Structure 1
Amino acid sequence: MSLQSNVLDFTDNEIATYRARTFRSLSELRLRSREDAITFVNQRGFVLFWPAQGIVMPSLWVATAGDRPVADAHDDPGHICWDWKDSLLGKRIWYYARVIRGKNTLIALEALPYFYTLSPNYGDPEHDYLDQYHEGLLTLEAKQVYEALLREGPLDTLTLRRTAHLSSPESASRFERALTTLQMQFRVLPVGTAEVGAWRYAFVYDVTHRHFPDLIVQAGRIQEDEARAYLLRRYLLSVGAIPFSHPMRLFGWNEIDMQRAIRRLERDGYPLKRGLRNTQSAEEWIACPEFLSS
C-alpha cells in the first residue's frame, strides 16, 4: 500500500490476501468440524451459508470447501457444512435464517440483538405485525403464515402451508415470498427439520421472539446508530476494504444511515478510513484499520 497525494492506493491482490484469511479460504485455515464452524461464525459475527453472487461476505461453504462453486454432487466433502447447520437448528448456538438480502445467513448470538434492533419489531411481536399489515408493509400471505405460527407453535413447512391456507400449487411462490419476508424481518426462523414430504426433509419454523425470549430486552438497550456502527465494523473486519455503497446495499441502509454509522464509529474511537481508492476502481472505498496495517 502506498500513500500518494493523501490518497491511499491498494491493489486487488492485497484485498484478496486479507480476505483469504478472514474468509478462511486458505487450505490451512479450512473448517474441519462443527466446533470450527461455530468458532468461525462467532469470530466473523455473521456469514452467509452459501456464497451469493454480488454479495462480498464470508460463507460457511468457502471456509469449508475453499473458494470454488458449490458442488452439485451430494457426496462432495464440502457438503458437510449442511450437516453442521442442520444439527444445530434449534440449539441456540447461532441464528440461522434467510436474512441478509434474503440469503441464508448465520449470525453469532453476540451480533443478533444489533440486527434485531434494526428490524421492524417494536417490542410487542404479538401485535406489531398488525400495524405493519394495515400500513401495507406486510402481505396477507405473510400475515397468515405468522399468525399460524403464533397460534399453533412450531410447524413443519407442509403443515405450515396448510395451516396458513397456502397449500395449493398456485400459492407456492407466494408462500415462499412470505416466509422470506418474515425471516428477513426477524419474525420467524427454522428451528429444526422434519421427515415429511416427497424428500422426507422439511424445515420446522417458529416465531423468533418465542425461540429467543430474551432478544427483545437485549435489543431494547441498543440505539439504532449504535447497531449500524456495530454491524459496519464487523463487516469491515471481514472484508477489509469495500466500496462505500456496498454496505448500504447489503444492509438496506440509505446514505444518512451510513453516515451516522460512520460518525458513531468515529465518536467511539474506531479509526475507520474513508476516501480511499482501489487501483482499479474510481469509487470511494472505506477500510478497517486492521486491513491497512496488515
Structure 2
Amino acid sequence: MESAPRVRSLNGAAGFVDRVGIALVFPKDDLVLPSLWEAIAGAREVEWAVRDTAGTFLSFTPEMDRLWRWKDDLPAERLACAGRHLARVVSLVSPALVSSLYVRTERDGRADDFRAAGLSSLQLEIAEAVLENGPCCGPEIRMLLSTSDKRGVDAGLQSLQRLLVLTHAGIVEQEHGWPAIRLDLFARQWRTQLRRLPSADDARRRLAATVLQSAGDVSAADLGAALGWRRREAAVTLAELEETGAAASHDEAGIKVWSPRGAFRDA
C-alpha cells in the first residue's frame, strides 16, 4: 500500500478506513490488515503511556490519546463500523463494505433478524434486551437481565459481535474506571447500508479484493486469517479474482501468493 500522510483528525481516520476498507485498531503481526495505530503513528511499536521517572502513568501518548478517542467516535458517528467482527479482535470496516460483510450471515437485515440465527438462550436474551431498550453497555445489560454473571455476559457480547448481531455504537461513561462500550444491534446501527444486500459471491470477492488491495501480497492463509475464512474458501476466491484480472499469482518458497493487478469490479 502506498504511503499516505499521517491521520490527524477524526475525519482523517474515517477517510483512512474508507480508503483501506478493513483495518485493525492495533497492528497484529499475524494479520495482513492495516491498522489505525499505524495510520496515526507510523510503523513503530505501540506506545501507550507517558510515565514519570518512577514509571507512574501520567497520560496517554499523544498518538494513543487520538486513537483511543477515535476508535469510539468512528462508530458513534457511523463513520466506520467497529467491533470484534473479524479475526477475533476489534476491527474497523468502511460503511461501503458493511453490506458485503453482513450478507454472509444469510439474514435479511431487519433489526430482529437475530431470532432466526440459532442463538443460545443467553445470546438471545442479550439481543432481545438491546432490541427493546436500545444501545446498551455490559453493566446495563447485566442489570436488564438481573444477573451478576459478568464473565458469561461478556462472553455473550463478544460472540454476538462475531455473529454480526451486535456492533459498537460509542461509549458510556462510568462512575468508576474506564468508559464502557455501548453496543447496538448491527442491523439497526447500519440499517441504511443493509437496505440492499449484494449477492453472496459478489460480497465474498469484494471483501477479498479489499484485503488484497491494502495488503499488496497475500496467500490463501493470509486472507483466511484476516477475514475468518477457511483456507479453501480464501484460495477459491483469490483464484476467481485472478480469472477476472483483479489479481495475479506467483510462487514464493513453494507458497502461492496473489498480488493486486487491477481494480475489482462487481459481476
Into which bin does the TM-score normalised by the smaller protein fall?
Answer: 0.7 to 0.9
Q: Which residue is 1:98 aligned to?
A: 84
Q: Which residue is 2:60 aligned to?
A: 75
Identity of aligned residues (%): 23
Question: Relative to structure 1, is the Cα distance of residues 68 and 141 closer, same or farther in structure 2, using a 3 angstrom cutoff?
Answer: farther
Question: Relative to structure 1, is the Cα distance of residues 88 and 245 closer, same or farther in structure 2, using a 3 angstrom cutoff?
Answer: closer
Q: Which residue is 2:157 aligned to?
A: 179
Question: Relative to structure 1, is the Cα distance of residues 200 and 253 closer, same or farther in structure 2, using a 3 angstrom cutoff?
Answer: closer
From 236, 252, 272, give the equivalent of 2:247: 272
1:63 deviates by: 1.2
1:61 deviates by: 0.4
Between the aligned partners of 2:88 and 2:231, the Cα distance in structure 1 is: 21
From 90, 109, 120, give the equivalent of 1:139: 120
1:110 deviates by: 0.9
Q: Which residue is 1:218 aligned to?
A: 196
Q: Which has the higher mean CA deviation after the structures are superposed, 75-84 or 210-219?
A: 210-219
From 165, 168, 181, give the equivalent of 1:190: 168
Between the aligned partners of 1:263 and 1:230, the Cα distance in structure 2 is: 13
Between the aligned partners of 2:232 and 2:28, the Cα distance in structure 1 is: 27
From 183, 186, 205, give the equivalent of 1:208: 186
Between the aligned partners of 1:31 and 1:210, the Cα distance in structure 2 is: 29
Between the aligned partners of 1:184 and 1:120, the Cα distance in structure 2 is: 14
Between the aligned partners of 2:246 and 2:173, the Cα distance in structure 1 is: 50
Question: Relative to structure 1, is the Cα distance of residues 255 and 106 closer, same or farther in structure 2, using a 3 angstrom cutoff?
Answer: closer
From 23, 33, 36, give the equivalent of 1:47: 23
1:200 deviates by: 5.2
Question: Relative to structure 1, is the Cα distance of residues 271 and 152 closer, same or farther in structure 2, using a 3 angstrom cutoff?
Answer: closer
Q: Which residue is 2:145 aligned to?
A: 164
1:105 deviates by: 1.1
SS of structure 2 residue aligned to 1:111: helix
1:270 deviates by: 2.8
Q: Which has the higher mean CA deviation after the structures are superposed, 246-255 or 223-232?
A: 246-255
1:214 deviates by: 2.5
Question: Relative to structure 1, is the Cα distance of residues 53 and 140 closer, same or farther in structure 2, using a 3 angstrom cutoff?
Answer: farther
CA offsets per residue over residues 187-240 of structure 1, 9 Å max, x none?
A: 111212222242151122211222222233222xx1111111101111111111
Quick check: 1:225–1:257 contact (8 Å CA) kept in 2? no
Provide structure 1 residue ranges, at least 5 long, that are not aligned to the other structure.
Answer: 1-18
Between the aligned partners of 1:200 and 1:242, the Cα distance in structure 2 is: 37
- Counterpart residue type for residue 196 of structure 2: Q
CA offsets per residue over residues 163-208 of structure 1, 9 Å max, x none?
A: 1344x2xx32322221111112221112122222421511222112
Question: Relative to structure 1, is the Cα distance of residues 273 and 266 closer, same or farther in structure 2, using a 3 angstrom cutoff?
Answer: closer
**RMSD (Å) for aligned C-alpha atoms:** 2.2
1:36 deviates by: 1.8
Between the aligned partners of 1:194 and 1:50, the Cα distance in structure 2 is: 22
SS of structure 2 residue aligned to 1:196: coil
Between the aligned partners of 2:155 and 2:71, the Cα distance in structure 1 is: 22
1:41 deviates by: 0.8
Quick check: 1:271–1:289 contact (8 Å CA) kept in 2? yes
SS of structure 1 residue aligned to 2:177: coil
Provide structure 2 residue ranges, at least 5 long, that are not aligned to the other structure.
Answer: 50-58, 263-267
User: Do structure 1's residue 64 and structure 2's residue 40 form an aligned pair?
Assistant: yes
CA offsets per residue over residues 263-283 of structure 1, 9 Å max, x none?
A: 54356x334112x223xx432
Q: Which residue is 2:53 aligned to?
A: none
